[in-house]
Amino acid sequence: MVRRATELGALAVGRLKDPGMHAVGGVSGLYLQIAPGGTKSWILRATIGSKRREMGLGAFPEVPLAIARDKARAARAKVELGVDPILARQRAASALRAEQAKALTFADAARQFVTDKGDQWRNAKHRAQWTATLETYAGPTIGKVLVSDVSQAHVLSILRPIWTTKTETATRVRGRIEQVLDWARVRGYREGENPARWRGHLDKLLPAPTKLAKVSHHPALPVDAMPGFMSNLRKRGGVAARALEFLVLTASRSGEIRGARWSEFDIPGKTWTVPKERMKAGVEHRVPLSPQALQLLDSVPRVDGNDLVFPAPRGGVLSDMSLTAVTRRMEVEAVPHGMRSSFRDWAAERTSYPREVCEMALAHAIENKVEAAYRRGDLFNKRAEMMAAWAGFLRGK
């Protein structure tokens, strides 16, 4: 006859002190193991298949007696069904580790793809442009999404806002997303069809790039045309021409430029601080001044009794049409606000500056409330470097 261990109560179990294995009863094979150092843990002894096994059920008192017995009963029930609970737990832990190893975000996948494939590209500049394009257009939507979870809905939310307005850029973004997702599938980070593929998939949902009409809400010059435009602009006289030149150098809005006052400038500090009352987002904005912007300001004459940097002939604020008139006289198919789009395209496609630096330079409002709450600074030093590079590009450097 099998001898059953006396069923101990919680108080009796708590009083056990001697090192060794103490049967506590209630469930066959359940023991409280006390190590020489005094630590206590639950052990279930059971025959599983042809093997005598010991299964840990947790530490005492973190796992109290009642729960230890419940765990022991559950383990024995699995054994009766022909399941090895120890092996099952090991397999579950192994599967969890495997899933965790596959938990790669799209942003990390893109970085690893560039590391793996970047050396075959033409030059470091192309590599930087490739990365910057994804960070700018794909990053806000899927940068933090697991690459295994990127779906058709994600891809379309990235492409649709720019598909008809920046078709060439959108096509490039789609292709790069597709390459990253293909890389992720081959590396085992995702399964299934590529939601960014064109043929037989997105070509059924989006108009063909070659069929799209040229659409531009704010006509802008191509990036490569900007140095020539600025060279011609510098040859033109007049306050409006200088205001437009300053607008391009600072990537600011027309109203901010036309209303600029000398009292807002810290020339030694190379900073222009636009008060919140004159900003679209209602937030004070600091603009880093490049050497070229400072040189332009130095060339602008100051009018006694007038704090405006670019005053109208009669002393008031220049009209918005005055800057547009300059582009028309130059026979340029662009408007002043479109110059900001040219700057944004340059930053995204020709540089490796992070998206948030570019957006801050344009004084765009942060739509993500969490991001806005955690962004404490205005990235001034990084923006200063970028604006100096932009001014250099406009000089053909």
CA–CA gap between residue 59 and residue 305 (Å, rounded): 82
User: Tokens standing for 354?
Assistant: 């992070």
User: Tokens standing for 180?
Assistant: 């990253």
Q: What is the pLDDT of residue 90?
A: 75
Average pLDDT over residues 87-111: 76
Q: Per residue in 305-355, pLDDT tens?
A: 999 999 999 889 999 899 999 999 998 888 888 899 999 999 998 999 998
pLDDT band at 369 (very low <50, low <70, confident <90, very high): very low
CA–CA gap between residue 160 and residue 32 (Å, rounded): 63
Q: What is the pLDDT of residue 137?
A: 92
pLDDT band at 280 (very low <50, low <70, confident <90, very high): confident
Task: Tell me which long-range contacts 6-14 makes (C-beta under 8 A, separation of at least 24).
Answer: 8/65, 9/65, 10/64, 10/65, 10/66, 13/60, 13/65, 14/61
Average pLDDT over residues 221-236: 93
User: Tokens standing for 20?
Assistant: 């060794």
Q: How far is CA 127 from the centre of its chain?
A: 18
Cis peptide before 61 (omega within 30 of 0): yes
CA–CA gap between residue 245 and residue 43 (Å, rounded): 79
pLDDT surpassing 80 at residue 364? yes
Q: Which domains does the chain have, with CATH numbers?
A: 10-101 (3.30.160.390), 106-211 (1.10.150.130), 223-394 (1.10.443.10)
Q: What is the pLDDT of residue 125?
A: 63
Q: What is the pLDDT of residue 207?
A: 92
Averaged pLDDT score across all residues of the chain: 87
Q: What is the pLDDT of residue 215?
A: 47
pTM (2 decimals)?
0.49
Those residues with Cβ within 8 angstroms of residue 341's Cβ, 6 or more apart along the chain or in another chain? 218, 220
**Higher confidence at residue 130 or residue 173?**
173
Cβ–Cβ under 8 Å, residues 139 and 156: no
Among the listed ranges 213-222, 228-237, 344-353, which one has the minimum average pLDDT value?
213-222
pLDDT surpassing 70 at residue 73? yes
**Higher confidence at residue 54 or residue 326?**
326
Q: Is 300 left (phi over 0), alpha (psi -120 to 50) or beta?
A: beta
Phi, psi (deg, nearest 5) at residue 69:
-65, -40
Percent of the chain with pLDDT over 70: 90
CA–CA gap between residue 184 and residue 112 (Å, rounded): 10
Q: Which amino acid is at 247?
A: L
Among the listed ranges 75-84, 110-119, 176-185, 190-199, which one has the minimum average pLDDT value?
75-84
